[in-house]
Homo-oligomer: A and B are copies of this chain.
C-alpha cells in the first residue's frame, strides 16, 4: 500500500485518524499510529497545557509518527503553534482558517502540513499556500463542515483534477470498501473520523460511543448553518434548535440556545439529551465499539477483499 501519502508521512497504511475535538487524545492518536495509520491529537478541545501533556504522552506511547490537528480559529492559536514547533511534532493538520497563515512557518521547522477543505476553491488556495497534503471533506462528515454541501463522491474527483498535491478523502469513510472507492476517484488515502469515535481508545464518553453505534441511517443532520454548519445527531438539543428555527431566530438567539460547552457536554461528559453529538452519516454503518487495531485491520481486510473482487472479475 505504498503511495504518495504513506511516503509523505512515513506510515504503513494511508489511513489518517481525524483529530476530532473531545475524542482524539494521546490514547487514540498513539493507538492509530501504532496500528500503521497516522494518529492525530485534536487540539481544538484542549487548552495549551493540556495539548502539551497529550503530545508528551503520545511520544511515550508510540515510536511511530503522529500529528496534531489545529483548527485555526482557536483562541490560543499562537501558543498552540509554538508548542507543536517546540515539541517537534512531525505533522500538523490545519483546518477552519487560511492555510497561508502558518504553513510556511511550520514547514520551516521541518513539520509536514496538511490542510482540510470542503471545496475545489479552498483546495486550490491550500495548494497555493504550499501545503504538503490536502484533505477534501464531504457533506456527510461529522462535526464542522463546509457551506457548499458537496458530497465526498462528487467532491473528490473534482479536487483530484484541480490539484497536484497528495489528496486525502474524508466524510463517509469507515470501511475498506469505501477506502478503495474514494481512491478510485482520485484520493491517495483517507481521513477517518466517526469510525474512530466508536473505538475503545477514543476519549469520548462511553454513552456517546454507544449512541454512535446504536444510531441508524438518517439520524444525523447538518444544522446551525447561520453560525458554522455542524453535523450532529438529532437529539433533544437538536429538537430544541428545530423549535427555535420555527420562529425565524436571529444569529444571537441561535448562539444563546447553543450556549457554551455543548460539544463537551455531549461527547465528553455523555449528556445525550442536552449535549451536541457531532458525528458523520457513516455512524449508521457502525455496529460496535472496537479497538483501534481491529478497526484498522478490518479496513485493510475489506480493502483487500474489495480489490480481490475486482481482480477476479466479480465486479
Contacts and interface: CB of A to CB of B under 8 A. Distances in A.
A305 to B, nearest CB: 10
Contact of A184 (B171, B172, B181, B281): B181
Interface in A131-170: 138-140, 148-155, 157-158
A248 interface: yes
Contacts of A247: 248
A181 B185 CA distance: 8
A247 B248 CA distance: 8
A285 to B, nearest CB: 6
A229 to B, nearest CB: 12
Interface centre among A178, A218, A248 (most CB of B within 10 A): A218
A222 interface: yes
A197 interface: no
A126 interface: no
Contacts of A280: 154
Given A178-B157, A311-B311, A218 B148 contact: yes
A140 B154 contact: yes
Contacts of A218: 119-121, 148, 150
Contacts of A181: 153, 181-182, 184-185
B285 A154 contact: yes
A217 interface: yes
A315 B140 contact: no
A154 B284 contact: yes
Contacts of A119: 217-218
A177 interface: yes
A172 B158 contact: no
B184 A306 contact: yes
A268 B217 CA distance: 36
A217 B182 CA distance: 17
Given A157-B285, A158-B285, A310-B307, A151 B139 contact: yes
Contacts of A158: 217, 284-285
Contacts of A285: 154, 157-158
A120 to B, nearest CB: 4
A180 interface: yes
Contacts of A221: 149
Interface centre among A120, A172, A182, A216 (most CB of B within 10 A): A172
Given A150-B217, A177-B185, A184-B310, 12 more contacts: A119-B218, A138-B153, A153-B153, A153-B178, A153-B181, A154-B282, A178-B185, A180-B184, A180-B310, A248-B248, A310-B310, A310-B311
Interface of A: 119-121, 138-140, 148-155, 157-158, 171-173, 175, 177-178, 180-186, 216-218, 221-222, 247-248, 280-282, 284-285, 306-307, 309-311, 315
Sorted from nearest, which 3 A-B pairs have the closest CB atoms?
A248-B248, A148-B218, A181-B181
